[in-house]
Amino acid sequence: MLVTKAVGIDDVATYVPRLYLDARDFAKERGIAPEKIAKGIGIEKMSIPDAHEDAATMAAMATLKLMQKNDLQPKDIGFIHVATETGLDEAKPISCYVQGMLEQIYGEGSFEHIGAPETKFACVGATYAMIDRLAFINSGWNKGRHAIVVATDIAKYDLHSSGESTQGAAAVALLLKENPRLMVYEPDSRGFGTRDDQDFFRPVGRTTAVVNGHHSIGCYLRDMRVAADAFRMSMLSSGLVTLSAGEGITDHVDRIAFHSPFPKMVEMAFASFLIHDWRGLPRWRRITRQTGPEPDRKSMADVEFYVSEPYREFRKRFTTTPEFKAEFEKKVKDSLEALKLIGNSYTASLWLCVDSSFEAKTNDLAGKRFAVGSYGSGSSAIVCSFIVQPDYRQVADGFSLMQDLSRRRKISVAEYEDLHEQRLDLHRGIEAPRNEFVLDRIGEKETDFGYRYYRFVK
Amino acid sequence: MLVTKAVGIDDVATYVPRLYLDARDFAKERGIAPEKIAKGIGIEKMSIPDAHEDAATMAAMATLKLMQKNDLQPKDIGFIHVATETGLDEAKPISCYVQGMLEQIYGEGSFEHIGAPETKFACVGATYAMIDRLAFINSGWNKGRHAIVVATDIAKYDLHSSGESTQGAAAVALLLKENPRLMVYEPDSRGFGTRDDQDFFRPVGRTTAVVNGHHSIGCYLRDMRVAADAFRMSMLSSGLVTLSAGEGITDHVDRIAFHSPFPKMVEMAFASFLIHDWRGLPRWRRITRQTGPEPDRKSMADVEFYVSEPYREFRKRFTTTPEFKAEFEKKVKDSLEALKLIGNSYTASLWLCVDSSFEAKTNDLAGKRFAVGSYGSGSSAIVCSFIVQPDYRQVADGFSLMQDLSRRRKISVAEYEDLHEQRLDLHRGIEAPRNEFVLDRIGEKETDFGYRYYRFVK
């Protein structure tokens, strides 16, 4: 018989660039009504990387922070596993560039014993990587070493495109180990929902994504519904949860964080989640007395239904009910505080939401079930859960995302456009680097053409 | 206590394009002495994909073959996990394109329950993916479902570049499950060796790799030495192997397959492996009586030493000893039969070697330890091992790589160059597609620009 160990997330370290673009400045410059961004999609500020930053420096910064605050040494680490859709090389993983940067601090060759792959699946990649690293530790194959999973991304769309207002950048490093202090992973609650779709992608050679925003919302909700069904089934069939009369599976979830391309998407996702879970329950009568009946699905496929006008209107009415509002306030709202100030950060977004939820300190989460709904275009969703540990505050009190966000420098739209179009020299960005890894130069010789050289600047 | 299950490789399916370029024709056209390719690096033919093929169609072909020959249904599969360095999109994994192709056969949505990430680490990516999928199954998190790991790659270098003679293409799909028929994985034998290096890479936006061949050989040997040391240590400390007086760890390895950018590299790798293992053993005196003493390493770092003239000369003399020859003949040689006829195929190469070893039928492998030495530039090596199962022949007799290779069509250098430079229309390649997945068209609209559409052609 296989006995499962307690494995999970021990600590989290976040990194955001020191620059931000104010969404109001941006809206004004683009001739968009400011409330369309602030209220329509829920974004107030967007994180913008400086000229010397890229997905690898951000990943290295988050990893270094995680190492330092836990006083970890290279020998303690078995894996540095990066997930990104801002890959820098088709063959070399960012993880290995990160290793090189860390070895500038910890000594050349100090990480030679590690595994360092990169995982790709749009914004859901880090959740895939996390589950695989946890399974590896759970199997006892880690020889006592911890794993670091790093989500790092720069969300970038063409200037003047519709996606431009959902840009952002961040990295999050998760420390995974046995007997974690923050949250223990529940292996019996995992559900996937995966479809070959074309809502958002970035063919090799393009620096910005091709996106069909409207369709992508439908894909997100479809995959999340499939994953949530599998999550529910898994919890029930394993005996992890037993439903009392009138209960839905969401009654057994105390907190939930979702992938957030923009905060408003999370409201839609959570509403769809609840509608699907509550539909057959006694409370549904009370809900539909307020909202009117859920529209007839007819022969529509999932995506078609979820983006249809009648369903959207129904969902909007649902979000005005006291029942929805209470659930959202209690289980979701805190997770979005940081996101409003960052914008999209693809793989990192979900884990920023998790961090944000813990930074809010609005109530005691010890012993509570914390679920995550992770989505990646293309497309795939994962829903899974954790149990928050008794002494989690000791770790969570060290989270510094909100503090970091308060110390940034605002840039002008002109400065943002210079950075976006890579008009600034690596060494002549907006802010002089200090105490950080920088992209120092890019190779130009025949044998190093395009190779990236990094350096730590004190 | 954690009890480990028997997990491993149940079956293997390979796919190679139906076209090949004869290395002699190529050498003649390029003004290279033919023996420089045939004997110097060990390549006789190179697999060349047709105009309608890419890394995704090849992966789908290998996966479909694996599904069909095992009569698997979508519900049996929990993961389709692709590893490649021929990625087609920075966000969307090839795995998901493969899912879409399979659903043309098995029904739309039939794989919606799967996980489908893509792993990147040059040529070692598939080994990373395999270990992670095995850990997932070993943890019992797979809910009884099997996993398919697919290695797929097209090795492509600039026309007239030094790498041009080591091109090739192939895909290999591995069926991973509990109680596998072919080989059981040994979790106590795994070693990694990873360094941030620049021997070979392909910055985003480039269609061909940047390679420093000489340096890459040194990196391969350095990482393999580190991984082999960890492999040895792991085997000994876990009690998996106990060394008798005068024994080396390689005495407990019955077969070994290596990543093979070109077959000659495997000879170098195995020689270095043995030199490192035998150096302190009684037999070393007998060896050095034939070869002369191993050159003094002085203060040279690993890579420097491994590419130094004196070491290379010593290693060459070592490969002429009867001791080396006997080991190579017994443990390695069979694995290279297919490779000579394919060329490099990056992630797929190692697993083609494993397949090839089983197709040779030169002796009974039941109960034997089969090790693999996997290397990816950038750089990382993994050494790990399996135990061949009693009834492995039932599976291995179904391997058809050598047969497939014998049925290919030879193309001219002119045809090869047309394919290389993508001068042929997708629908006007060299051979008309039959019974296969094809790349049918690439999106040109604003919302699907660069998206790839695939179709099954009967």
Question: Which CATH number covers residue B61?
Answer: 3.40.47.10
Say whether pLDDT at A3 is over 80.
Answer: no
Mutation target to probe the B interface, by most B beta carbons within 10 A, among A120, A225, A231 is: A120
Q: In the predicted model, what is the mean pLDDT of residues B420-441?
A: 96
Mutation target to probe the A interface, by most A beta carbons within 10 A, among B63, B130, B196, B382 is: B196
CA distances from B296 to A124, B162, B220, B273, B310 (A): 51, 31, 21, 18, 9
Sequence letter at residue A316: K
Determine whether the interchain pair A196/B103 forms a contact, defined as Cβ–Cβ distance below 8 Å: yes
Say whether pLDDT at B2 is over 80.
Answer: no
Q: Is residue A2 a part of any domain in this protein?
A: no
Sheet holding A19-22, edge to edge: A45-48, A19-22, A409-411
Rounded Cα gap, residues A161 and A179, in angstroms? 46
Determine whether the interchain pair A96/B194 forms a contact, defined as Cβ–Cβ distance below 8 Å: yes
Asked if A281 and A247 touch (Cβ cutoff 8 Å), the reply is: yes
User: Mean of the per-residue pLDDT values for chain B?
Assistant: 96
Nearest chain B Cα distance for residue A154, angstroms: 12
Q: Phi and psi of B385, rounded to 5°?
A: -145, 165
Q: Is residue A421 a part of any domain in this protein?
A: yes
Say whether pLDDT at A2 is over 50.
Answer: no
Say whether pLDDT at B350 is over 50.
Answer: yes
Q: Is residue A1 a part of any domain in this protein?
A: no
Report pLDDT for B4: 62
Determine what percent of chain A is predicted with pLDDT higher than 90: 94
Q: Is residue B404 a part of any domain in this protein?
A: yes
Cα dihedral B425/B430/B436/B438 (nearest 10): -10
Report pLDDT for A429: 96
**Structure pTM?**
0.97
Q: Which chain A residue shows the shortest CA-CA distance from B377?
A: A92
Split into its structural domains, chain A has a count of 1
Interface A–B counts its CB contacts (< 8 A) at: 268
Report pLDDT for B95: 98
Q: Is residue A319 a part of any domain in this protein?
A: yes
Q: Phi and psi of A52, rounded to 5°?
A: -90, 5
The 10s digit of each residue's pLDDT in A110-167 is 999 999 999 999 999 999 999 999 999 999 999 999 999 999 999 999 999 988 999 9
Determine what percent of chain A is predicted with pLDDT higher than 70: 99
CA angle at B195 for the pair B138 and A169, rounded to the nearest 5°: 80
Say whether pLDDT at A332 is over 50.
Answer: yes
Q: Which of B115, B194, B376 sits opposite A192 (nearest CB)?
A: B115
Q: In the predicted model, what is the mean pLDDT of residues A282-291?
A: 97
Determine whether the interchain pair A450/B196 forms a contact, defined as Cβ–Cβ distance below 8 Å: no
Q: Is residue B104 a part of any domain in this protein?
A: yes
Determine whether the interchain pair A204/B88 forms a contact, defined as Cβ–Cβ distance below 8 Å: yes
Report pLDDT for A4: 62
The 10s digit of each residue's pLDDT in B26-84 is 999 999 998 889 888 999 999 999 999 999 999 999 999 999 999 999 999 999 999 99
Q: Is residue B341 a part of any domain in this protein?
A: yes
Q: In the predicted model, what is the mean pLDDT of residues B263-284?
A: 96
Rounded Cα gap, residues A385 and A190, in angstroms? 7
CA distances from A50 to A100, A170, A261, A340 (A): 21, 12, 21, 20
Q: Which helix (H) or strand (E) holds A183?
A: strand A183-194
pLDDT band at A362 (very low <50, low <70, confident <90, very high): confident
Nearest chain B Cα distance for residue A354, angstroms: 22
Q: In the predicted model, what is the mean pLDDT of residues B346-361?
A: 96
The 10s digit of each residue's pLDDT in B225-258 is 999 999 999 999 999 999 999 999 999 999 999 9
pLDDT band at B1 (very low <50, low <70, confident <90, very high): very low
**Tokens 């496929």, residue located:** A301
Q: Is residue A216 a part of any domain in this protein?
A: yes
Say whether pLDDT at A1 is over 80.
Answer: no
User: Mean of the per-residue pLDDT values for chain A?
Assistant: 96
Nearest chain A Cα distance for residue B281, angstroms: 25
Determine whether the interchain pair A204/B89 forms a contact, defined as Cβ–Cβ distance below 8 Å: yes
Q: In the predicted model, what is the mean pLDDT of residues A172-181?
A: 98
Q: In the predicted model, what is the mean pLDDT of residues A392-415?
A: 97
Q: Which chain B residue shows the shortest CA-CA distance from A110?
A: B195
Chain B residues lying within 8 Å of A378, measured CB to CB: 89, 91-93, 96
Q: At what angle do helices A94-106 and A55-69 cross, to 10 degrees?
A: 50
B345 is in which domain, residue-wise? 7-457
The 10s digit of each residue's pLDDT in B361-374 is 887 999 999 999 99
